[in-house]
Chains A and B, each alone.
Chain A
Amino acid sequence: MNFQCKNCGGNMVFEPKSGKMFCQYCKSFDSETKTGDRSVTVCASCGGEISIDTNVSSSQCPYCGNFLVFDERLEDNLEPKEILPFSITKEMAEETLKQVFKKRTFAPVGFFSKESFKNLKGDYVPFFLYDYNTVTEFDGTGTKSRSWISGNKEYTETSYYHLIRKMRAGFSKVPADASYFDDQKMDTLEPFPYDRLKQFDPKYMSGFYGYIFDAPASSYEPRVKGRISGAVSRLLSESYAEFNGVRADVNETDFGLAKSEYVLMPVWEYEYQYKDRTYLCYVNGVTGKAVGEVPVSKKKVVGYSLFFGTVVWLLIQAGMLILEVLA
């Protein structure tokens, strides 16, 4: 199905700036109506045959350019509980990337060109949010040392303590990317502002590319537990920061899963092909935080570095000459 304008019949998309549905043709707001059937092989607007990957829940028709939302991939257990709508526009994401990339001296010349930014697209990335209650038991030995000098001798006193800790810690909405997107990059895009989460409505997906999770929530639990485990260790170590050295005899954490929920998070995706490799950069669709990888042009590395080194050498030689003349 797609969202059609009641006034002119044009394709309506969600506009991040106003937070409303917008008709790209007659410029009217919130005048949408759902049209078309539930097909994932025929465009609801032009009737063209389309080929959509099984993990895609919204896309764009390659023939008419209208945005389509696939209902059957957003129902029952595939229906997200909540969605974080885009509030950063494509132009804002482009500007953010430009600001970040302009500091990348060795990026290829075309990397931030207008032409390249045509590949910038908005994705709704599937995430699971987990709530965990943890209980940690720690038993170990801590040492405190102090030194002083008397005469020609240095003395060191070491005190030994038995450390016992029992800690409860609750973690709420710890996110895990549930798609083919790079996990590390998605983690780096955090935090997503949860206070702006909305109850799921497919209209937010019109104008963007949506994906469904690759595996059930239980598949991502080990990764989330790993993140929480690191957090628990750091919280625990803060409690014995006054000790110079600590040795653990017992250090165990029980993880109690309270709940998990399926949500969609907004991410601007920029794809750049350079020398047979694809480089991907992302912008958080709400906070504007940018992450990714930038290609390096070997020509630029050599040319810029040699020029820089030569100018520095010239400056040193000139500086030495000035000092010698004025001495």
Chain B
Amino acid sequence: MKRERGAFGQFIHHFRFLLIIAILVVAAAGYLYKVKVVDATANLKESGNTERVYGDKRVFDFGNRLTDSEENKLEDLIHSQEKITQSDIVIVLLNESLADFADKYAEKYGYRVSTEQWVMLYADEFWEVNRFGYDKPQVLDGNSDSGDGVCLVDNDFREPSSGKKHTWMCTTGKVYHAFSTADINSALDVFYENVDDDIYEACKDFVNAYSRHMAGPSGVKIRFSLIAVVIAAGVMFIYMGINLSTKVGKQTVTERTYLTEDSPEFYVNENIFLRKSVTSRTIETDSGSRSGGGGGGHISGGGGFHGGGGHSR
């Protein structure tokens, strides 16, 4: 004889499939996290570069656009992400015209570019002169296999010759290989979301976006997700709604169930046409436009190979 289930037995029986799925998925997630994240993080190397001119400093706020506290917080964030991304992350904030700098650069290296690319020249030289690079300082031989890192230069000064403020993201070494033109545009789009309202937030968002792209599994963290809570709550209320119904049984007889065999009989059934009317309305249409930009690999006047891309506003 079949034994009746108690409260706990009913509970387990009801959730048996969900429990099995949950155990399998959580176990799979745990296994993957151990193999791909924990083990990968254990193999991360410390930077081998001891020649950086500014030592541990990564944020250069020449335009006085950050508070001291914001600058320190940004430095901390960058230092925590450099090991995970195995690359140097440098941010330079300006508020000055680079016209003189471009002239001196052209004089020094014989390399002249349009206004939009002055920030590019600045970023390239800043990286090379200050000997950045996580693996080692960049070897200025025109190759892209050393000096791993990224340098973001944002100039809040509106250059008269272009009428715009310019930004450049300079990629070097393995970062050059990791970021396509589209990836650079995407990272700069993130930076531009808050650039005029809150430069600290913009820099923080950029570093996090960069880190997510570069880090791979070793950058993955177990995070509490509010979206997951909202979705789970929604699913829970649907589950409650479905199961809260207390009525059993539906009406299955129709109007025809009790009709006699010869019914219904329409002994008069007429549709007499009376009149016709036509109305019209104009259909309105909409139109819009979008635009974008990008950059690519080049060799600086100093001889270093850099990738990168720019935005302006």
Measured CB to CB, the residues of A under 8 A from B are: 100-101, 104-106, 109, 113-114, 141-142, 149, 152-174, 185, 187-191, 230-232, 234-235, 239-240, 281, 289-296, 301, 303-322, 324-326
Which residue of the partner chain, among A149, A157, A239, contacts B269 with CB atoms under 8 Å? A239
Measured CB to CB, the residues of B under 8 A from A are: 4, 6-7, 10-11, 14-15, 18-19, 21-22, 25-26, 28-29, 32-33, 36-37, 217, 220, 222, 224-225, 228-229, 231-233, 235-236, 239-240, 243-244, 246-260, 262-283, 285
Are B283 and A154 closer than 8 Å at their CB atoms? yes
Are B244 and A309 closer than 8 Å at their CB atoms? no
Q: A167-B264, A325-B217 are in contact. Are A109 and B6 (CB under 8 A)?
A: yes
Are B25 and A318 closer than 8 Å at their CB atoms? yes
CA distance A292 to B274 in the complex (A): 51
Q: A100-B248, A325-B217 are in contact. Are A155 and B279 (CB under 8 A)?
A: yes
Residues of A within 8 A of B33 (CB): 321, 325
Are B248 and A158 closer than 8 Å at their CB atoms? no
Are B276 and A160 closer than 8 Å at their CB atoms? yes
CA distance A158 to B26 in the complex (A): 61
Residues of B within 8 A of A155 (CB): 278-280
Are A312 and B263 closer than 8 Å at their CB atoms? no
Chain B min CB distance to A4 (Å): 33
Residues of B within 8 A of A152 (CB): 282-283, 285
Number of A-B contacts (CB under 8 A): 224
CA distance A142 to B26 in the complex (A): 61
A-B contact pairs, 13 of them (CB 8 A): A141-B274, A153-B280, A158-B277, A162-B272, A190-B251, A191-B252, A231-B256, A234-B255, A294-B246, A305-B240, A309-B235, A309-B236, A320-B225
Q: Beyond the given A165-B268, A281-B248, A293-B247, please list 20 additional residue pairs across the A-B interface where CB-CB is below 8 A.
A: A109-B6, A149-B283, A154-B280, A157-B277, A160-B273, A163-B271, A169-B260, A169-B263, A171-B260, A171-B263, A172-B260, A191-B257, A231-B258, A234-B255, A235-B256, A292-B248, A304-B15, A305-B236, A318-B29, A320-B225
Which residue of the partner chain, among B22, B246, B257, B274, contacts A161 with CB atoms under 8 Å? B274
Residues of B within 8 A of A165 (CB): 266, 268-270
CA distance A300 to B37 in the complex (A): 39
**Is the contact region of chain B dominated by helix, strand, or loop, or is it mixed?**
mixed
Are A167 and B255 closer than 8 Å at their CB atoms? no
Are A188 and B249 closer than 8 Å at their CB atoms? yes
Q: A160-B276, A165-B268, A325-B217 are in contact. Are A170 and B259 (CB under 8 A)?
A: yes
Chain B min CB distance to A326 (Å): 7
Are A321 and B220 closer than 8 Å at their CB atoms? yes
Are A168 and B246 closer than 8 Å at their CB atoms? no
Which residue of the partner chain, among A191, A230, A326, contacts B255 with CB atoms under 8 Å? A230
Are A316 and B231 closer than 8 Å at their CB atoms? yes
Are B4 and A154 closer than 8 Å at their CB atoms? no
Residues of A within 8 A of B220 (CB): 321, 324-325
Q: Which of B10, B220, B225, B264 lies at the interface centre, i.e. has the most chain A CB atoms within 10 A of its CB?
A: B264
Are A301 and B255 closer than 8 Å at their CB atoms? no
Residues of B within 8 A of A312 (CB): 231-232, 235-236
Which residue of the partner chain, among A141, A170, A317, contacts B225 with CB atoms under 8 Å? A317
Are B10 and A109 closer than 8 Å at their CB atoms? yes
Q: A312-B236, A317-B228, A319-B25 are in contact. Are A168 and B244 (CB under 8 A)?
A: no
Select from chain A the residue with minimum beta-carbon distance to B236.
A309
CA distance A189 to B258 in the complex (A): 15
Q: A155-B279, A304-B14, A322-B32 are in contact. Are A190 and B252 (CB under 8 A)?
A: yes
Are B252 and A289 closer than 8 Å at their CB atoms? yes
Chain B min CB distance to A305 (Å): 5
Are A160 and B274 closer than 8 Å at their CB atoms? yes
Select from chain A the residue with minimum beta-carbon distance to B281.
A154
Chain A min CB distance to B5 (Å): 8
Residues of B within 8 A of A230 (CB): 255
Chain B min CB distance to A289 (Å): 7
Select from chain A the residue with minimum beta-carbon distance to B243.
A105
CA distance A301 to B7 in the complex (A): 13
Are A231 and B236 closer than 8 Å at their CB atoms? no
Residues of B within 8 A of A306 (CB): 236
